[in-house]
A and B are shown apart, each in its own frame.
Chain A
Amino acid sequence: MAPPQALVQERLCGTCGNAITTQAWSADGEFLAMATAGGELLLLDFRAGCEELLRGERDSSLDVLGFSPDGRFLMAAGQSGELLLWEMGGTGVRPMAFDPVPLQAGWLDAAAWRPHGALLALGAGRRVRLWDGEARALREESQELERTVLSVAWSRDGQRLAAACHGEVLLWRPDDPGDLPQRCATGSAGVALGWSDQGTLLASGQLDGSLMLWPDGAAGRGWQFSGFPGKVRSLAWCDQPGRLAPLLAVASTDIAVLWSQQDRGAKGWKPEPLVLHEGRVNAVAFAPGSSLLASASSDGTVALWDGRGRLQQLLEGDGQGITCLSWRPDGRHLVAGGDQGQWWLWPVSLPPSARSRPQPSRPQPSRPPRSGGFAP
């Protein structure tokens, strides 16, 4: 077999002062934010070709961040226990910081914006709080769980919210205060939650080395797949429909596993282990609009796989472990962060095997980010 054609030919990179903990793109792909374990928050503005340090180094880590899908807000949170928010002013304009919102619930590391608009769900101790971009305030009401919230995820239509803690996943409709939450027992702690793009399947990666899957909008009985070599720390759904269900990728110890549904029975899900990395796989992510999968590892590499689990290319991170990665919404640019503060941005051309499906209808800018100011 001929070696696969190289998908990545060049890269941009830069450095922060501390390990990069998380990265996020704005919905239009024009802004990229990254946070570090030293509390820095760096914002790259591709249209203006400039970068701005929104928050300098300090003695408290940032661990979660994200742009609201309507592009108006950027949020970050972490060790200080405060919700940090900025109002985005458009390209070339420095975002305006809100007063930090104290949550008094210890370290914050679980948050997710609703897929449309500007409603943020935030795990704060045993509660899930909602910050409402319309009111620019925390909503009074909150959902309480039995234990500390470890992960939150919105269904694609934004109607349902799922939150995982030790022992259960709770599902409810935040817009319908009369709706009784649905409880799905798990037997251990859910550390990574994700809804499939069509919103019919909910997956939870568990601390006890299992993966739980609930079909039919979690109305059906869940399946549990055990036998992973360690905790299932990261998972990602492919946004392309499969024959029965989209592809699901999960990470456990030093392997990524690609799951596909072959039939509707309890044994219908088939795992395809992607064995290559020599250190912990910290993150997996599908490129939007395709079945190209990226896996990031502490061994200092990012691997690109096609939808059948065939290695396409191995990217190296200059000797530092890769902690996180994020695809630009156009599916053609991948950013990754290192445990010593370096970041890399790779323009990626799709392999023929991943290009089989049409692009989603969301409008995406086709212009790649410019390299102004970020070249090594």
Chain B
Amino acid sequence: MRSAPSTAPDRDRLPVTVLTGYLGSGKTTLLNRILTHEHGLKVAVIVNEFGEVGIDNQLVIDADEEIFEMNNGCICCTVRGDLIRIIGNLMKRRDRFDHLVIETTGLADPAPVIQTFFVDEDLRDQLRLDAVVTLVDLRHVEQHWESEEVQEQLAFADVLLLNKTDLVEAEALEAIRQRTRAINPLARVIATCRADAAMDQILGVGAFELERALEIDPEFLASDHDHEHDDAVSSVAFIEERPMSYRKLERWIDGLVSERGPDLFRMKGILQIDGESHRYVFQSVHMLIDSARDRPWRADETPRTDFVIIGRDLDEPALRAGFEACVA
């Protein structure tokens, strides 16, 4: 399923930050910081656990998480019905705020929230997903590491806040950083104490803008992953210097998502296409695929293809073989 591109220009669409994190990871602390911080933005917040945000603000709106299966219960077509209704109402007050933050419950799968902004026609036209920010409780994450929710929240993140640095030793922080990296090499990782990340690292990130360069941790690309962690959710990254065939890639990706869509959380790629002076950019969330012809390769760049897949039970050799078969 290809998500129809929005017809509205980016600057006219309201940026949305999705805030996820397991129970007790510091979401409320971060929300309160966002609402009180002098960043000059008027922020509207949709919360699922009302009453926790200690700030009296008419732009804090309660919504009861309600999943709508759009297409025979397919995981890739599930959206958040409550958000469609509440944001639909809220957007009539568009002039009152500049940014929307959605707090999910600690046990929520972020995928339906993300998919809502690509699937619903009104939300797609009026808003744009800015970033998924996931908070990780450094003190307790090890206890919850096996939980599906925690792994999904890590996998979908664009920004990972490793929070409560004051409660763990440096070695523990480093071990958790390594382990989150293996799951999600795309996210920017920031260590925080009391969720004290700089506001510009959380709001206005633009992580879903296709033309943004793929920021893969170079260390991750370079290292030969020896999978010391046995997490169900992991990632693979491919680099290819030879030009790729657009048609082969398209067929491979379409086949991949139709076969493994529910297990493929996010994919991102910058592609060097055979016979093309421009780079191509690509991203997906489950089965929603978005791709575009981007700018020309610059003189100071070596054209190549970077491709990252984050998912569950990934068969790296098979994926690598499939990817390499797409070389032109």
In the complex, A21 Cα to B71 Cα: how many Å?
31
Partner of A107, one of B66, B81, B89, B122: B89
**Do A147 and B81 touch across chains, with their CB atoms under 8 A apart?**
yes
Q: Which residues of A contact B122 (CB under 8 A)?
A: 231, 280
Asked if B62 is at the interface of the complex by the 8 Å CB criterion, the answer is yes
Asked if B150 is at the interface of the complex by the 8 Å CB criterion, the answer is no
**Do B85 and A150 touch across chains, with their CB atoms under 8 A apart?**
yes
Partner of B81, one of A59, A125, A148, A253: A148
Asked if B86 is at the interface of the complex by the 8 Å CB criterion, the answer is yes
Partner of A109, one of B64, B68, B85, B96: B85
Which residues in window 183-206 of B have CB below 8 A to A?
none
Asked if A8 is at the interface of the complex by the 8 Å CB criterion, the answer is no
Chain B 153-178 per-residue mask, 1 if CB under 8 angstroms from chain A, else 0:
00000000000000000000000000
In the complex, A125 Cα to B96 Cα: how many Å?
25
Q: A61-B93, A109-B85, A148-B85 are in contact. Are A125 and B64 (CB under 8 A)?
A: yes
Q: A147-B66, A208-B70, A230-B121 are in contact. Are A189 and B81 (CB under 8 A)?
A: yes
The contact sample of 27 A-B pairs, CB cut-off 8 A, is: A18-B93, A19-B93, A60-B58, A61-B90, A61-B92, A61-B93, A78-B89, A106-B62, A106-B63, A106-B64, A106-B86, A107-B85, A107-B86, A109-B85, A148-B66, A148-B82, A166-B68, A166-B81, A189-B68, A207-B68, A207-B81, A208-B71, A230-B121, A231-B121, A231-B122, A280-B122, A339-B92
Interface residues on A, range: 20 to 34
Q: 9 tightest A-B contacts by CB?
A: A59-B58, A37-B92, A37-B93, A230-B121, A19-B92, A166-B68, A166-B81, A106-B62, A63-B89
Which residues in window 18-66 of B have CB below 8 A to A?
58-59, 61-64, 66
**Do B66 and A166 touch across chains, with their CB atoms under 8 A apart?**
yes
Task: Output the least CB separation between B135 and chain A (Å).
Answer: 25
In the complex, A109 Cα to B59 Cα: how many Å?
17
**Do A109 and B84 touch across chains, with their CB atoms under 8 A apart?**
no
Asked if A38 is at the interface of the complex by the 8 Å CB criterion, the answer is yes
Asked if A323 is at the interface of the complex by the 8 Å CB criterion, the answer is yes
Chain A 11-33 per-residue mask, 1 if CB under 8 angstroms from chain B, else 0:
00000001101000000000000
Chain B residues in contact with chain A, CB under 8 A? 58-59, 61-64, 66, 68, 70-71, 81-82, 84-86, 89-90, 92-93, 96, 121-122
Which residues in window 141-184 of A have CB below 8 A to B?
147-148, 150, 166
Residue ID in chain B nearest A233 by CB atoms = B122
In the complex, A63 Cα to B93 Cα: how many Å?
11
Task: Output the least CB separation between B267 and chain A (Å).
Answer: 26
**Do A188 and B58 touch across chains, with their CB atoms under 8 A apart?**
no
Q: A106-B63, A106-B64 are in contact. Are A323 and B92 (CB under 8 A)?
A: yes
**Do B66 and A21 touch across chains, with their CB atoms under 8 A apart?**
no
Residue ID in chain A nearest B84 by CB atoms = A207
Q: Which residues of B contact A107 (CB under 8 A)?
A: 61, 63, 85-86, 89
Q: Which residues of A contact B89 (CB under 8 A)?
A: 61, 63, 78-79, 107, 109
Q: Which residues of A contact B82 (CB under 8 A)?
A: 148
Interface centre among B70, B93, B96, B122 (most CB of A within 10 A): B93
**Do A79 and B70 touch across chains, with their CB atoms under 8 A apart?**
no
Partner of B61, one of A79, A125, A207: A79
**Do B121 and A253 touch across chains, with their CB atoms under 8 A apart?**
yes
Q: Which residues of A contact B90 (CB under 8 A)?
A: 61
In the complex, A18 Cα to B94 Cα: how many Å?
10
Q: Which residues of B contact A253 (CB under 8 A)?
A: 121
In the complex, A339 Cα to B61 Cα: how many Å?
21
**Do B92 and A21 touch across chains, with their CB atoms under 8 A apart?**
yes
Task: Output the least CB separation between A4 and chain B (Å).
Answer: 32
Q: Which residues of A contact B84 (CB under 8 A)?
A: 207
In the complex, A231 Cα to B85 Cα: how many Å?
13
Q: A107-B86, A208-B70, A280-B122 are in contact. List 6 more A-B contacts (CB 8 A).
A: A38-B93, A60-B58, A125-B64, A148-B64, A231-B121, A253-B121
Residue ID in chain A nearest B50 by CB atoms = A106
Chain A 206-225 per-residue mask, 1 if CB under 8 angstroms from chain B, else 0:
01100000000000000000
In the complex, A59 Cα to B86 Cα: how many Å?
15
